[in-house]
A and B are shown apart, each in its own frame.
Chain A
Amino acid sequence: MAHSILVVDDAPNIILSLDFLMRQAGYKVRTATNGEETLLAVRENRPDLILLDVMMPKLDGYEVCQAIRADPALADIRIIMLTAKGRAIEQEKGLALGADAYITKPFSTQEVLDTVKALLKGE
């Protein structure tokens, strides 16, 4: 069965590309554009992996991540943080708060794809 991926970003242009890319790779894809939407979507139907943007209105990526990690039922969801915050300190914070991987924008689509594949293979 194909893995399911939730793509979260508040920029529609990046969602367009990531959505297309993941579908081409054979995954089932849903999208969300803010933190609250994300948590609703996750509880409604648990995805295998989330591509999570950090800078979002309402709940930001860190909070979403923390909330998911706090729920034992959701604990094994893979989370890849995508962010425009390029500093190593942000990356450290993301990983400290429970992300499995951290990718800085702009990224190569291949890099995202490889990371997604690697994380899902480890399941």
Chain B
Amino acid sequence: MPASRKKFWGLVAGIILAVLLISAGALWRLSFFFPALSPQQEVALAFYLGGAVLLLITAMAIFGILLDQALFRPLGAVIRGVGIITESNPTHRLEIPGFNLLDELPDALHRLGDRLHNSRREVGEALATGATRVEEQKAWLEAVVREIHEGVVVCHHQARILLYNPAAQRLLDNHEALGLGRSLYAICARGPIEHTLGMLLQHRRDNLSQPAAGIEGRFLCPTVNGAKLLQCQMELIPGRSAAGPVFVITFDEVALQTESPGLTDISLRGPIEALRGPLASLRAAAENLVAFPDMAPVMRSAFENVIAQESSELTDRFEKLVRDCRLLTSTHNSLTDINSGDLFKFVSRRLRETGGPELASSGMPLWFRGDSHSLMLVLTFLAQRIKESSQVTSLSAEALLGDRRVYLALAWPGKPVLPAEIDKWLQQPLPGSVGDLKLADILARHGSNLWSQSHRREGWATLRIPVPISPRQWRQTTEQAQPARPEFYDFSLAEMHGGLGELADRPLNQCTFTVFDTETTGLEPSAGDEIVSLGAVRIVNQRIVKGETFTRMVNPGRTIPKSSVRFHGITDEMIKDQPLITEILPLFKNFVGESVLVAHNAAFDMKFIQLKEDAAGVRFANPILDTLLLSVFLHDHTRDHYLDAIADRLGVEVRFRHTALGDATVTAEIFIRLLDLLKQRGILTLGQAMAAADKMIAVRKQQTMF
């Protein structure tokens, strides 16, 4: 029995008792209230009063029973029923007496139960689909990782292995120490792995605000038993587990496994240089014979002898060169972009740990290409040698910018190191290096050498190691030197891509989109400006498809103005070997397929493409949506519709700005949010969205007039 019903009956019983008591009291002292009555009259009055009280009590009891039946009992049934609805069966029908005062309550509760039932079913289905999809993706991922012919190892703290694939097993010769939870250091040399991880972590720490500046972690790593040399690539997995950073290493065997990695470079350079001596003798002898026809016969025969000898020598050396050429493999694959600041910091720390001299870096850090681990060893080694030979306790490190090289320079107060001393150093094996290379070998791999000369600072000497410059040098500047792109309204996208046909009715959420952006030499396509890079991402199911991107540099067939280089960082040097736009557009067309094209200020990009369609032999007749116009349509409260402004408004994080792919990605993320907003405004089909954007062309024209 519900508590309210108990209380109710308690109350009714209390009132009846009170009425009984009061009437009994009144009857008892009847003469007190009515002193003038005769005994017969008193009896009659008592009879009537008693009857009235009895009637009242009966009425109250009937009323109570009525309320109990019509309200409190059904209420109890409702409470139990709701319990069933919430806890076990939402479609449960309440079992309540036909006569009740609950009005709409049962029906409302039934509706609530049905809703609950439906929601639960939907959630359940979604969960089931989600779980199936996760399972599916996991199975795919496993299959992919299994089928990758490169070794894949995922590790965390102390290089403990979290995952590895069969290729890793094969490449590491089924090493007995390869197993989940065991340390990779038992199999692969610790030095290069720790160094690369350290560099990646340091770089991530120093560049939190600028994840675009991430560095590649390429390195060479021998197995502990020295049987194999692996070419590895390390990447940090985003986020941070309690046990420290998680990283993945993909690796493959270096083709010439028994040779030292520096050999390939040297093996070609040596034979080529070996040709030069005999060639010089041959040519000089031949030229002398031609130039001095009247020379003495003895001299003539001496020169003829030289020609015969050197020709035969050359033939032999040529054969050797051909042999060596076949052995050419790319150790260049282990060269990676390095930031001099990162490297100097690392060397400085290592010197501190090993009791070497202090190393303070000065100047701007520069980007160059190299094998990070071995260069770290080289600099550490050199700093220690300089400390010994020049009796200094602290050195300064600086990166200098040359035309095609970056010079890593160590400087100290004192005299330059003598070449003989440097030659001795060059021939010393570098402790800890992969393959026990000599200093000279490592430098050869970087196409480098080293020398000591006096420093521009009076009384100081310097030691210089030239290394190849990295194109990243110029990708650093992100300052906005050019005005924002002009908006193009002169031709209507809808006109150009009219006749949507049945496509017009296609729901937006079923369309596939290709969101793209271009970087150009300037802002006037009709006046000879050209595309220098093209980037695009794909949106399927309202999600950006990770990994399916299109990004190409394009040779514009003209020079790139400095103002544009400052804007996007693409230099003449970088595009001189790239294909022309006429070669790129057919590839882009393949990437785009039947999808809907999306761009910010699409008319601008389309104008560039349109002008090249004939030459490239392709035509982009795909429907086009413009995020700028859609933004104008949705947010007419503001006039700020530049990419950055919209990104800010919609909470899209902006990264890699001013690269074609970066901007395309930002545009895509914005577009996905715009799709949601369009839906709220009742824009559901492609045709509706294009019509909405079209209307905005006129509006925007007007807006910019003021």
Contacts and interface: CB of A to CB of B under 8 A. Distances in A.
A89 B274 CA distance: 18
A63 B423 contact: yes
B368 interface: no
B10 to A, nearest CB: 105
B280 A97 contact: no
A17 B303 contact: yes
Interface stretch (B45-53, B448-456, B578-586): B448-456
A105 B269 CA distance: 14
B299 A66 contact: no
Contacts of B278: 13
Contacts of B285: 13, 16-17
Interface in B234-293: 269, 272-285, 287-288, 291-292
Contacts of A89: 405, 447-449, 466
B119 interface: no
Contacts of B448: 89
Contacts of B698: none
B291 A109 contact: yes
Contacts of B291: 24, 109
B300 to A, nearest CB: 11
Contact of A86 (B273, B281, B423): B273
Contact of B276 (A18, A60, A66, A106): A106
B302 interface: yes
Given A13-B310, A14-B280, A105-B280, A21 B288 contact: yes
A45 interface: no
A84 B274 CA distance: 7
A93 interface: yes
Contact of A97 (B269, B283, B451): B451
Contacts of B283: 106-109
Interface in A76-123: 82-87, 89-90, 92-93, 96-97, 104-110
B264 to A, nearest CB: 16
A60 to B, nearest CB: 7
Contact of A96 (B272, B303, B453): B453
Interface size class of A (residues with CB under 8 A): 20 to 34
Give the most central of A13, A84, A87: most B CB within 10 Å.
A13
Nearest to A82: B280
Given A86-B276, A89-B449, A93-B449, A14 B284 contact: yes
A108 B287 contact: yes
B281 A14 contact: yes
Interface in A54-71: 55, 59-60, 62-63, 66
A84 B276 contact: yes
- Secondary structure class of chain B's binding surface, majority of residues: helix
Contact of B280 (A66, A93, A96, A107): A107
Contact of B277 (A20, A24, A84): A84
Nearest to B292: A24
Interface string A24-60: 1000000000000000000000000000000100011
Given A17-B285, A17-B303, A96 B451 contact: yes
A53 B537 CA distance: 58
Contacts of A62: 419
Contacts of B418: 63, 66
Given A86-B272, A107-B280, A13 B287 contact: no
B299 A105 contact: no
A75 interface: no
A48 B291 CA distance: 25
A66 B292 CA distance: 36
A3 B273 CA distance: 31
A68 B386 CA distance: 23
A96 B285 CA distance: 31
B306 interface: yes
A11 B279 CA distance: 12
A110 B279 contact: no
A24 B292 CA distance: 9
B287 A105 contact: no
Give the most central of A14, A16, A17, A60: most B CB within 10 Å.
A17
B686 to A, nearest CB: 58
Given A24-B292, A89-B448, A93-B451, A63 B279 contact: no
Contact of A63 (B269, B282, B405, B419): B419
A17 B449 contact: no
A94 B287 CA distance: 27
B309 interface: yes
B420 interface: yes
A84 B273 contact: yes
Contacts of A18: 284
B423 A110 contact: no
Contacts of A90: 449
Contacts of A82: 280
B466 A17 contact: no
Nearest to A84: B276
Interface in B365-420: 405, 418-420
B450 to A, nearest CB: 8
Contacts of B447: 87, 89
Nearest to B402: A92
Contacts of B281: 11, 13-14, 16-17
Given A20-B299, A89-B448, A97-B451, A66 B277 contact: no
A45 B282 CA distance: 31
A57 to B, nearest CB: 13
Interface in B422-442: 423
Interface string B93-137: 000000000000000000000000000000000000000000000
Nearest to B420: A63
A82 B466 CA distance: 22
A18 B466 CA distance: 33
A4 B409 CA distance: 39
Contacts of A21: 284, 288
Give the most central of B283, B405, B419, B453: most A CB within 10 Å.
B419
Nearest to A65: B419
B455 to A, nearest CB: 13
A24 B278 CA distance: 22
Give the most central of B277, B282, B291, B405: most A CB within 10 Å.
B277
Interface string B148-190: 0000000000000000000000000000000000000000000
Contacts of A92: 466
A30 B588 CA distance: 68
A31 B281 CA distance: 15
Given A14-B284, A89-B448, A106-B283, 11 more contacts: A13-B281, A14-B281, A16-B302, A16-B306, A20-B299, A96-B451, A97-B419, A105-B276, A106-B280, A107-B284, A110-B287
7 contacts: A20-B303, A66-B418, A83-B276, A84-B274, A86-B272, A89-B448, A107-B283
Q: Which 8 pairs, one residue from A and one from B, show the smallest C-beta to C-beta distance?
A: A17-B284, A84-B276, A105-B280, A106-B279, A13-B281, A105-B276, A106-B280, A109-B287
